Amino acid sequence: MLPAAAQLYKCPHCGKTKPMLSLMSGNTFGGELWSDGRAIYPMLPKLSTIQKCSCCGRYSLLDKWKDTGRTSNKSFGETGELTYSEAKEAYIELSASTSDSSEISAISFSFIQAYNDQFRRPRPRKAIQENKLIDSISGTFCSPEDEDIRLVIKATKQAIETLDNSEDNRLLKAELLRELGRWDEALRTLRTVTNNDVKWIIDILTYHIALEDSRLLPLVIDGTEVDYSCCANYATIVANKDLPNSAEVDKSIDSFVQTLSPEIRKDTVRDALSGVYDRHSKSLLKVVSPCSKHFEIENQTYHICDYAFFRNFDIESLTFSENLRSIGSKSLYGCKNLEVVFPKNAMIESIGDCAFMNCKSLKEIGFIDSVQFLGRSVFAGMDKLESIKLPKDLRRIPEFTFFECESLKDVEIPESVSVIESFSFQHTAITHLTIPNRVVKLGDAVFSRCFQFEQVTLPNRLKVIPERTFSSCKYLREIEIPKSVNTIMKEAFDGTESLTTVRFHGKVEHIDDTAFKDSGLETVIVPFWAKSYYKKVFPNLTIKSAIL
């Protein structure tokens, strides 16, 4: 490398000049090339895409700086390479200040590659240099924070959306889709790249897409191509694997569209993932199966229609559009392989009946903070759901909301709730629960078959404990009945075999003969003034009086 006298560039913000590197000659010896397009050549360094002014501290794209000629001295200047923290700061600042797609693309790529430099390149580079398996490489490597991961995912999606359609960019787009785990889209995009000079890269990417491997891939290290000799033959075999048959999908979409009314039909559009939208109502109408394992709902979509993903066994992850406001009935019913939903800042207000019922692989519900209306059975049958915090403005927990969510242990019910309807928590794994004092009504069998239930605090405005409310809660040991309760209905505590003590704070006018059938009840603690009444109700039990 032979550097020339530095070029002077003028900052577009403050007008101060900065000497930048200029070369008389260079070469690519000892260089690196990576699947994300990053080329690192020690003997042929490049100026950083984004520059930071040493005077005003502002960031700007290199093409915004004005070239004012060479320096008169022998200084060589600098590349302006940013540290990772500077690249992160620059991405946040610049991406928020422009809507130009080419600028957003350049800004996003600069951050993606800086992120990869910091967190993803060191270990595979060291593994290849030491001729070892990557999992056997020891040492200290930087780990990203949650914010870093969130930002790089956002930048990757922006880059995908803003890349132009040139062949080089289609190859890069395929790689970014692969790194996001969007295998079908990545493979579909790779098929459009016909340049034989990059076929070896296409084969490598195809191979790793088939393996569903999203790791960053080194292509050249220290000037030598990394050996991926197995990829070419395997890529030929799998090039058409794991993608829906396009003719079959087209036929299915056409059949679905024909079922729509003429008014809706004229406004329908489809995306590359076999999703059909109504442009007029800004709704996702249907996703025809088979589809991509990852589905991203288009921006500006306000509503997911009833049955849109009904029993779609292909989908594994879903990204909501940030404008999404409502989810229709049975829209994701029976999507048994759906593992994760990315909210993307969506402010969902309404979720219809059975919307996520039997989504047996979905572990988290992190998108309901703003919900004001839930339909019945919304989360029923979600086997792997373990905890949930219900939205702060929710007024009613409908029938069967968490029915048969057999791993659900931790539930936070907001103070706004006044009604909890029948079967809503039946056969969950809840152990302890405080029901807010605003609740005035419980439905039948609300906590029936909650086999782990040990302790519950009832609200002080409750009047009726309905039929089978706590039936078969075999580990419930003790309960306090508030002064407000005037009725305990049949089989309310049936099968509570560990329930030995009940404390009554008032006089319950009607207690059904079967209310405590097959329970372990031995002692009833009552107000001193009601002791004679409870002796008649429970003639065979120990009655103790106390000031309650």
What sign does the dihedral 396-400-401-407 (CA atoms) show? positive
**Residues with Cβ < 8 Å from 522, sequence gap 6 or more?**
500, 501, 541, 542
Could you say which architecture CATH assigns to the domain 386-548?
Alpha-Beta Horseshoe (3.80)
Supply φ then ψ for residue 422, to 5 degrees. -55, 140
d(CA 452, CA 475): 6
**DSSP class of residue 364?**
-
Q: What does the longest C-alpha to C-alpha distance in the chain come to?
A: 109
At 303, which helix (H) or strand (E)?
A: strand 303-304
**pLDDT category, 241, cuts 50, 70, 90?**
very low
| Structure tokens belonging to residue 495 | 């099968």
Question: Strand order of the sheet with strand 294-296?
Answer: 294-296, 317-319, 340-342
For the beta carbon of residue 240, count every other beta carbon within 10 angstroms.
10
Classified as helix, coil or strand, 290 is coil
Q: Where are the domains of the chain?
A: 2-238, 386-548
d(CA 75, CA 34): 32
**What pLDDT digit, counting tens, does each position of 192-236 carry?**
898 888 988 988 898 788 777 888 999 999 888 887 765 554 444
**Residues with Cβ < 8 Å from 99, sequence gap 6 or more?**
none
d(CA 185, CA 161): 13
**Residues with Cβ < 8 Å from 268, sequence gap 6 or more?**
257, 260, 276, 277, 278, 279, 285
For the beta carbon of residue 353, count every other beta carbon within 10 angstroms.
20
CA angle 407, 412, 415 (to 5 degrees): 150
Q: Are 260 and 162 in contact (CB under 8 A)?
A: no
**DSSP class of residue 500?**
-
Share of the chain above pLDDT 70, in %: 94
Classified as helix, coil or strand, 322 is coil
**What pLDDT digit, counting tens, does each position of 431-455 carry?**
999 999 999 999 999 999 999 999 9
Residue position matching structure tokens 């790689």: 175
Q: What share of the chain is helix, strand, coil (3-state, %, to 5)?
A: 25, 20, 55
pTM of the model: 0.58
pLDDT at 252 over 50: yes
Quick one: residue 181, left, alpha or beta (phi over 0 = left, psi -120 to 50 = alpha)? left
Can you spell out the DSSP letters for 243-277? S--HHHHHHHHHHHHHTS-HHHHTTEEE-TTSEEE
Give the mean pLDDT of 477-495.
96
Classified as helix, coil or strand, 504 is strand
At 68, which helix (H) or strand (E)?
A: strand 66-70
**What pLDDT digit, counting tens, does each position of 280-331 carry?**
999 999 998 766 678 888 888 999 999 999 999 888 889 898 899 999 999 9
**pLDDT category, 242, cuts 50, 70, 90?**
very low
